[in-house]
Amino acid sequence: MIQGLDHIQLAMPPGGEPRARAFYGELLGLREIPKPPELAKRGGLWFELPDGRGLHLGVEEPFVPAKKAHPAFRVLTLDLLAERLSQAKAPVKWSHEVPDVRRFHGEDPFGNRLEFQEHPSEHKLTEDEVLAVLYALEKEEVTIPTAQRLRAEEAPSGGVPFVCSNGWCFVIFSDAFEWDYILRVTAPDGRWLEFADMMGEPGQPSPMPRLADYRPPAQIGLDVWGLLGESEEVGEARRVR
């Protein structure tokens, strides 16, 4: 009887191998594996997922992209992948219908629908771990690419994603281009924190007051995040209250 899933197959048009390698191999980071010689004559590519299962792309003519049927890939750091796809001008459409699952839909270069989802680790980050990264950003020991800072300066109010040079992902709530608060932070190993974790239960003291109250100094906000930070006067009032 059935024991599990061995591979999934998507269709692609003739001659699409270079685009498939650029997207699935370079952008998504999947390892290409050789097709058996007889199958290689038909064109197409095989990739291996990290869990050992396969992703096969077979040539179909006439080609019609799959707009409804789709594979769903599990991702360790979803914000990092969303940023990579956005930089490559690939579509990213977030979806919030499934409780406790962060996910978005996209397309491969041929128009096939894809889903990417993140199941957060049971182990959450500590306040000190996140603050250590924030302070490292202030000291420029960790950096944020210039392109992300420029996009933040143009982004409307709401969550703005930042992917740091050390692989950490911050989603900052920006109100009128001001650094307001951390919506979410994810470490490269999949551990995470959300705003609700930092604030705690309504009416109760914050379990992570230093993190809940953190705002970068004004110049750091501009230089590092591309957002207005906290003035010296406001920061001093916050520290002594």
What is the side-by-side strand order in the sheet with 31-33?
Answer: 7-12, 54-59, 45-48, 31-33
Q: Is residue 239 over pLDDT 50?
A: no
Query: Residue 177 has which token pair?
Result: 């281009």
| Amino acid at position 20, single letter | A
> Over the stretch 95-145, which tens digit does the pLDDT of each residue have?
989 888 889 999 999 999 999 998 877 788 999 999 999 999 999 999 998
- pLDDT confidence of residue 230: 75
**What is the rounded CA–CA span in Å between residue 98 and residue 19?**
31
Average pLDDT over residues 65-71: 97
Q: How far apart are CA 168 and CA 161, in angstroms?
A: 11
Which two structure tokens, joined as six digits, stand for 41? 């004559």
The predicted model scores a pTM of 0.75
In this prediction, residue 93 has a pLDDT band, given cuts at 50, 70 and 90, of very high
Strand partners, 93: 105
Please determine, for residue 241, whether its predicted confidence score (pLDDT) is greater than 50: no
156-193 pLDDT, tens digit each:
678 888 989 999 999 999 888 889 999 999 998 888 99
When pLDDT is averaged across residues 64-69 and rounded to a whole number, the result is 96
CA 57 – CA 91 distance, rounded (Å): 20
Count of CB atoms within 10 A of residue 107's CB?
19
